[in-house]
A and B are shown apart, each in its own frame.
Chain A
């Protein structure tokens, strides 16, 4: 490994730095004659608009084996495009690209075969951790890329084990990735790339979407991966990461601005400023909001109370421990309150409660003197409606709630729901767009705007209702430095207008910069509430403690509870261990044939067998019945229907046209019970079979169709990805439903047109989210070299054992007897 201090040279003037460092590099490569170039770019140009403008213009450099390179650049500098060229995802418009010893692009020709071979040796990790994980079990996900490379089955497990060890995630091999923290998910994604044994790893802003703790976790892992064999290219905006690189490459408006030792660039304020990379933190702290925060303190007594939270406890219906317990604090009008805490401390839950999107089990919340749950029924609804008029809720990533054809229509949704007249609504929309500086986009589709503009448009949709209390959930999450400082100014402006602001954040700096008071949450309890200077040191203590715990490899404790492990870990019974193909097919046949049950003898036989299967599954009959609780209502309806429609047999009871006969009772029992057996059998299969087992079986059972050109493996992958994203989409849909409800949208009430509009305000953003995930997932599949089903090997193998044949034989016997019973009796 080449250490940075090898290049320790006397101070160089900033203008000379580029030239000098390039020379040092060249001389270094001369002395290391064995150095192998992983990347050679020669005069590379790239355009997104057929040459009208250049995202990259004349980029040339080499990257050698074992180097650790950081790429810095302001937004729009072309660094992500460069990352994709380096990873072989896209070809440029001009120049020459050599990757992993192959000329993949020259002049105008992209050599697809060479690209494919090169990609097999390049790993890529993206920004969004969640969208890179393609299965429902961590170790299967790490194996996915290895399978695509066609590595023999016997070697896959070793590779998966090693890769998970490299990122310190071995303890989570069987976990469900959707329950991991962002930092952990990103480590799994890195393991997925490492298991493919890449010669070069390209990381595209791997820590950009993580909180401080996650960022340190992942940066630490990246440092550990540095060795002589693996080249690492880290595209980042973190100066701390860039400082540790062997070489720093800086892009500015598509051109190479710097290529050399990191410190010579990072220690030069002039160079940083010249390329739009001035130290952002200083700029933020110097901004005006700070002065805005202090002036309230004098006028403190005059202000009236805007928010009073009184001994609030809230527990989610599916949880044992409360998400918030006994939280009390209050806020005066015009104050900014920052709610700080680590992930999972209850910040977002508290934000939702303040907006009356959920009801606390104990305690009360008053906003402007309104307790939204202070009355029941009709009066309660009226209270909540008046609350909606004075509280605005900006959810995390509010741009995800945009839905209308135009920005102005979207912004008008809230005021319109509150009952503003058309003129009034128009006026509010115009004023709000003007205030946020996006009036020029009023008639554009919100989806055609840039990320920062989208967030402003979404916030406009909330503040157009002129709330006096505004709740912001992580308002700067995922924003770059410039958009972030724009947001700070906006918050200060709103405060100046007298709006009370409650914002959640995990950033110490943000809370210090903006807030008058800080509420510190930890595991759902309010640890402290008061002036930032008193509370924030406590927050730092908590964060540091968590990080130290992690550093001392006490990761077992880190937010991971063994019961979170995937069901495979608990797999025990005979039924669990059956070949899923045998289990699923037998069960389906038994379920369909149950509809042929027409006598009590048949019913008894089926009941014996189904109860036997439930018993063998060791799930417990009560547990099975509990899982089918929702279907019980349907069973009751069916029973009653059967009871009443049957007119034959002896009349036992008659009341008007309602008539109950013995035959009616008989058919009610028969039809209800046989359906109950069907449902129980299905529940056992669902409870004893993992999603991966189901998709594996589907692939295996459908594989004969391959002969006719069916994309069987692709189909199984579609299904597996779909199951993986159900929790994600469900969570996002809930957030959107909340956010639109806070703007007064309601599917349950109003005219049909209003209801359809309310539905559209939920459905459109949900589709937008699905498409956004799809874009990321397709890149993640490319990064793992997915090239269709052929040539893939399998990490998991389905094997049939003796017990499977026994079960199959048993099923056949059951069905044979079921159909023989009418002949016997």
Chain B
């Protein structure tokens, strides 16, 4: 599917070709950001070994936004949806933004080139790989700010805690996105 702005409407009375965002584009970005914000507040622990690491489904919204409306939508949804958290947990929000970008932007770029179910699958895998690397690197920086532990100690946590948690989280994102994308693409095309 193409960007909503590229569709040719024989009944259009407007000229959106002046580098402006169409109102439809603004509305879709806004509702996806709202959805991602709502999703980001639904947090729950999924990994018993580290109850302080929580899963939230907002990454699914970023991925779907990227698939349906292109990389720009993925960027906007990933960033704007964490702005409201900025004042509650500034470091955590920055981490979340970087991971969401790592997941959704490569996925949507690949899907744009290979517009098929296989393309979506590889997109999700590529995105998950990037997000995993970003999440691990980010933890090396952020965890020592939350607790008095050295980078070496964080590295020691990767295998038992950080890697399995992030794999599980990205697996849920990926599987759910892959399953729900087909019915949603029906809706977007309408």
Q: Which of B11, B27, B29, B91 contacts A46 (CB 8 A)?
A: B11
Can you list 17 contacts pairing A with B, beta carbon distance less than 8 Å? A46-B11, A90-B13, A91-B12, A447-B183, A588-B87, A646-B148, A671-B148, A686-B87, A709-B19, A718-B29, A718-B80, A719-B80, A719-B83, A733-B38, A760-B176, A770-B35, A775-B24
A contact face: mostly helix, strand, loop, or mixed? helix
How many A residues touch B, CB cutoff 8 Å?
Answer: 85
Across the interface, name the chain A residue whose C-beta is closest to B21: A714
Distance between Cα atoms of A730 and B42 in the complex (Å):
11
Does B180 touch A at the CB level, under 8 Å?
Answer: yes
Across the interface, name the chain A residue whose C-beta is closest to B177: A763
Task: Determine whether the beta carbon of A781 is less than 8 Å from that of B26.
Answer: yes
Distance between Cα atoms of A778 and B23 in the complex (Å):
5
Distance between Cα atoms of A457 and B53 in the complex (Å):
40
Task: Determine whether the beta carbon of A718 is less than 8 Å from that of B13.
Answer: no
Interface residues of B in 1-44 (CB under 8 A from A): 10-15, 19-24, 26-35, 37-38
Does A225 touch B at the CB level, under 8 Å?
Answer: no
Task: Determine whether the beta carbon of A770 is less than 8 Å from that of B32.
Answer: yes
Task: Determine whether the beta carbon of B13 is less than 8 Å from that of A721.
Answer: no
- Asked, given contacts A645-B147, A718-B26, whether A767 binds B87 with beta carbons under 8 Å apart, the answer is no
Residues of A within 8 A of B88 (CB): 628, 631, 679, 682-683, 686
Does A675 touch B at the CB level, under 8 Å?
Answer: yes
Number of residue pairs A-B, CB distance < 8 angstroms? 194
Interface residues of B in 125-139 (CB under 8 A from A): none
Task: Determine whether the beta carbon of A595 is less than 8 Å from that of B91.
Answer: yes
- Asked, given contacts A718-B76, A722-B80, whether A756 binds B176 with beta carbons under 8 Å apart, the answer is yes
Residues of B within 8 A of A782 (CB): 14, 23
Distance between Cα atoms of A766 and B60 in the complex (Å):
12
Distance between Cα atoms of A104 and B12 in the complex (Å):
12
Task: Determine whether the beta carbon of B35 is less than 8 Å from that of A718.
Answer: no
Task: Determine whether the beta carbon of A726 is less than 8 Å from that of B12.
Answer: no
Does A623 touch B at the CB level, under 8 Å?
Answer: no
User: Known pairs A46-B11, A116-B14, A723-B37. 13 more at Cβ < 8 A?
Assistant: A91-B13, A447-B183, A588-B86, A588-B87, A638-B52, A714-B21, A729-B38, A759-B176, A763-B60, A764-B184, A766-B35, A770-B34, A781-B26
- Asked, given contacts A91-B12, A447-B183, whether A778 binds B27 with beta carbons under 8 Å apart, the answer is yes
Interface residues of A in 767-793 (CB under 8 A from B): 767-768, 770-771, 773-775, 777-779, 781-782, 786-788
**Chain A: minimal CB distance from B147 (Å):** 5
Does B64 touch A at the CB level, under 8 Å?
Answer: yes
Task: Determine whether the beta carbon of B20 is less than 8 Å from that of A787.
Answer: yes
Does A390 touch B at the CB level, under 8 Å?
Answer: no
Distance between Cα atoms of A787 and B34 in the complex (Å):
22
Q: Which of A595, A645, A763 contacts B148 (CB 8 A)?
A: A645
Distance between Cα atoms of A88 and B12 in the complex (Å):
9
Task: Determine whether the beta carbon of B87 is less than 8 Å from that of A445.
Answer: no
In the A-B complex, the 4 residue pairs with the closest CB atoms: A682-B87, A721-B30, A667-B148, A722-B33
Interface residues of B in 47-83 (CB under 8 A from A): 51-52, 57, 60, 64, 76, 80-81, 83
Which has the most chain A C-beta neighbours within 10 Å: B10, B24, B145, B148?
B148
Residues of B within 8 A of A705 (CB): none
Question: Could you give, for residues 712-725 of chain A, a 1 whenever the CB lies within 8 Å of some chain B CB and a 0 otherwise?
Answer: 00110111011111
Interface residues of A in 72-100 (CB under 8 A from B): 88-93
Distance between Cα atoms of A592 and B26 in the complex (Å):
32
Task: Determine whether the beta carbon of A771 is less than 8 Å from that of B23.
Answer: no
Interface residues of B in 104-160 (CB under 8 A from A): 145-149, 153
**Chain A: minimal CB distance from B187 (Å):** 5
Q: Which B residues are closer than 8 A to A by beta carbons?
A: 10-15, 19-24, 26-35, 37-38, 51-52, 57, 60, 64, 76, 80-81, 83-84, 86-91, 145-149, 153, 175-176, 179-180, 182-184, 186-188, 190
Does A277 touch B at the CB level, under 8 Å?
Answer: no
Does A339 touch B at the CB level, under 8 Å?
Answer: no
B contact face: mostly helix, strand, loop, or mixed? helix
Q: Which A residues are closer than 8 A to B by beta carbons?
A: 46, 50, 88-93, 104, 110, 112, 115-116, 119, 403-405, 445, 447-448, 584, 587-588, 591-592, 595, 628, 631, 634, 637-638, 641-642, 645-646, 667, 670-671, 675, 678-679, 681-683, 685-686, 698, 709, 711, 714-715, 717-719, 721-726, 729-730, 733, 756-757, 759-760, 763-764, 766-768, 770-771, 773-775, 777-779, 781-782, 786-788
Distance between Cα atoms of A715 and B11 in the complex (Å):
27
Task: Determine whether the beta carbon of B90 is less than 8 Å from that of A767.
Answer: no
Distance between Cα atoms of A773 and B91 in the complex (Å):
32
Across the interface, name the chain A residue whose C-beta is closest to B150: A645
Residues of B within 8 A of A777 (CB): 23, 27, 30-31
Across the interface, name the chain A residue whose C-beta is closest to B37: A726
Distance between Cα atoms of A450 and B34 in the complex (Å):
27
Distance between Cα atoms of A698 and B86 in the complex (Å):
13
Residues of A within 8 A of B24 (CB): 774-775, 778
Task: Determine whether the beta carbon of A730 is less than 8 Å from that of B14.
Answer: no
Task: Determine whether the beta carbon of A763 is less than 8 Å from that of B176.
Answer: yes
**Chain A: minimal CB distance from B162 (Å):** 14
**Chain B: minimal CB distance from A636 (Å):** 10
Task: Determine whether the beta carbon of A763 is less than 8 Å from that of B89.
Answer: no
Task: Determine whether the beta carbon of A788 is less than 8 Å from that of B187.
Answer: no
Distance between Cα atoms of A637 and B143 in the complex (Å):
13
Residues of B within 8 A of A726 (CB): 34, 37-38
Distance between Cα atoms of A825 and B183 in the complex (Å):
64
Residues of A within 8 A of B11 (CB): 46, 90-93
Task: Determine whether the beta carbon of A768 is less than 8 Å from that of B187.
Answer: yes
Distance between Cα atoms of A723 and B64 in the complex (Å):
20
Residues of A within 8 A of B146 (CB): 638, 671, 675
Which has the most chain B C-beta neighbours within 10 Å: A679, A698, A714, A722?
A722
Task: Determine whether the beta carbon of B30 is less than 8 Å from that of A588.
Answer: no
Residues of B within 8 A of A686 (CB): 87-88
Distance between Cα atoms of A686 and B88 in the complex (Å):
9
**Chain B: minimal CB distance from A154 (Å):** 27
**Chain B: minimal CB distance from A720 (Å):** 8
